[in-house]
A and B are shown apart, each in its own frame.
Chain A
Amino acid sequence: MNWLEAIFTAFTSPLFYKLTILSALPLIFAGIGGVYSEITGVTNIALEGIMKLGAFTGVAFTFLTGNPWLGLLLGMLGGLILSFLHAYVSIEWSANQIVSATALILIAQGFTGFLMRPIFGQEGQTDFVSKIPTVKIEAIQNIPFIGEIFGEISSFFYIAILVIIGSWFLLYKTPLGLRMRSVGENPRAADTLGVNVKAIRYFGVLMSGVLAALGGMYLALGDIGQFQEQMPAGKGFIALAAMILGNWNPIGTMWAALLFGAAEAMNIQLQTLMVLPSEIKALLNLLPFVLTLIVVGGFVGRTRAPAADGVPYEKE
């Protein structure tokens, strides 16, 4: 099959759209996590590390308890604890947030590597564990085309819909959301109006930890059922790009994540539809990263970060 044929086949097959959605899932969770943190004024570039630790914790507890849902819950707790470190030094000690987040990425990488052998007796990847089951809905399955995409799909898809709609509602339709946005735009004014800046920022950063962990766990517990050391392979940073392209808004982040998901899906589709030598496959893997670079380079001027993003707040 030649290039044009392969691309055409990809675009017309339901599998491509399903892969797009599935590839976007980790970016949606982590990207919206980033929105929570940055909208309250704390930069969190540690999404990559939180995803990794979340994925590992989720798999480890699924392995130890046999229950993937329990693993999922404890994996979210893992993300919460890791992001707490970032929140604590950023909010209480005015730490440099980029440096602190870099520390979290290393801590997550070191910890998962360190605990691999004591828990699983091997390095590189863990044993296979039970996955979070897929949801099958027959009424949808019977619809042509659509049925092949949504008829049977990972539970994470439905969790993502809850997260997207819930986050949009929380941020734009509730008093808490208003406070979060005001803390991210002008913490001093919010403080004067009696908003507890610290508490709101803690909430934002901790939510980013929980959601990024979910994103990591989709890769491990939703997709392949094991943790691999090279996970999440840059997806935490692509999620940050999705957050920027999505203008720090949950719905926008979702669309941006779907765009990056489509690049990944096209990569996977081309590799399976065409007989390609290994070196060409290596080049095709560039697709999502080049796209991210172009998008971040081209769109940043047109989106606007919360005014107090990354700026520590101290009471006078």
Chain B
Amino acid sequence: MKSRWMSFLVPFLAVMVSLLIAAVIILSIGENPLKAYGAMIRGAVGSRLSWADNITKMTSLLLTGLAVGFGFRAGVFNIGAEGQMAMGGIMAVTVGLSLGNVPPAIAIPVTIVAGMAGGAFWASIAGWLKAKTGAHEVISTIMLNWIAYHITNYLVAGPFAVGAGVPKSPEIAQSAQLPALLTVQASSIPSSILIAIVAAIVIYIILEKTTTGYEVKSVGFNPYAAEYGGISISKNIVLTMAISGALAGLAGALEVMSVHHRIFGAFTSDRGFDGITIALIGQNNPIGIIFAAFLISSLRSGSNAMQTIGVPDDIIVVIQGIIIFFVAADRIIRTWIMKASQLGKKKSPITLQGGEEE
């Protein structure tokens, strides 16, 4: 089996198996899984409104997926996209609030850069700690997630607080808001999706065509060999974290600039964590991540519709968990594929070797 096919088949089968297991779970609470999945598909792509919702969700998911995936390529497990996205949002609001008299041509890029810098700074703390002291990035990024969460709560209840009801910040200046790409009835497709896709292409180019990308990948592939080859591991870890965090920060900035125009507590709503699933399904390939982000945004937008027919939307999180589980244990699936491909060609013994090729 060619490795290009494997890197598509493994996540595909992981998704299929997890949908099957989830179907059994849905059955166990006495609901009809076919009806549930039907509602989910209609909720995700069944109408123009659902498409708009889906693509809005996809924008930030694509970026957090890229953030996590880029880290994976360098062997860094950045599960702090949640906190970096929050920091991106906070910075975008801080800057965006004061840009009333600045034309959009300047205000928009400035706000975007502020958000990216916020995310990059936040992730660099974990990168720096890992490079300096060997602190595992999983623990430090999780702590930074909580710290960012509490800082957001502090800002929207204190210095930024505006209005009554849910603690929230004021809206950023009109000139820093991103216009809609297309308006469909009440809902609209944000132009931020274009920025996210451009980011995916840029990351693809960085990884495949530049020296930085080569260094990042070689550190991820074999840090000892990379260091022997003259590549500084600690510099690369900090750099990788900064780029990864900038992508998550961009997700936060775009969320502020094109959807809510403000921040509130927990406005990142677990999208940083969804990035892990997306990176793994997309096999850390920026182009694969675009499709994976669409898959997860479809599951997320579809889950609301499923909720209305009595299936709790938490089933989506279970599905994501099972997908990740099978991606981690990809050897299980590879063994299935090998067995299946041997079943078809039992008579020719030569294919046996071919099945293991990667």
Contacts and interface: CB of A to CB of B under 8 A. Distances in A.
Interface stretch (A12-20, A93-101, A174-182, A184-192): A93-101
A93 B331 contact: yes
A166 interface: no
Contacts of B132: 297
Contacts of B136: 244, 296, 300
B318 A110 contact: yes
A110 B315 contact: yes
Nearest to A296: B135
Given A89-B325, A298-B133, A107 B143 contact: no
A114 B328 contact: no
Given A95-B328, A104-B321, A300-B135, A114 B314 contact: yes
Q: How large is the interface on B (under 10, 10 to 19, 20 to 34, 35 or more residues)?
A: 35 or more
Interface residues of A, number: 53
B332 A297 contact: no
Q: Top 9 nearest A-B pairs by Cβ distance?
A: A279-B158, A113-B314, A110-B317, A106-B321, A110-B318, A107-B321, A103-B325, A89-B329, A103-B324
A66 interface: no
Interface string A253-289: 0000000000000000000000001111011011001
Interface string A282-308: 110110011011001111110000000
Nearest to B327: A99
A292 B277 CA distance: 26
B135 A111 contact: no
A293 B315 contact: no
Contact of A301 (B134, B280, B314, B325): B134
Given A297-B133, A297-B135, A103 B158 contact: no
B27 interface: no
Contacts of A283: 150-151, 154
A68 to B, nearest CB: 25
B354 interface: no
Contacts of B133: 297-301
* Chain B interface mostly: helix
A102 interface: yes
Contacts of A206: none
A292 to B, nearest CB: 5
Contacts of B330: 95
A293 B325 contact: no
B147 A290 contact: yes
Contacts of B221: none
A207 B318 CA distance: 24
B338 interface: no
Contacts of A296: 129, 135-136, 139-140, 143
A109 interface: yes
Nearest to A303: B134
B287 interface: no
14 contacts: A45-B139, A103-B328, A104-B325, A110-B317, A114-B29, A234-B146, A279-B158, A285-B150, A293-B143, A293-B147, A297-B135, A299-B133, A300-B135, A301-B134
* Chain A interface mostly: helix
Contact of A297 (B77, B129, B331): B129
A237 interface: yes
Contact of B140 (A99, A106, A293): A293
A100 B323 CA distance: 10
Contacts of B147: 286, 289-290, 293
B328 A118 contact: no
B157 A292 contact: no
B65 to A, nearest CB: 14
Contacts of B138: 45, 98, 237, 240
A99 B79 CA distance: 11
A298 B128 CA distance: 12
Which of B129, B136, B323 gathers most chain A CB within 10 Å?
A: B136
Contacts of A104: 321, 325
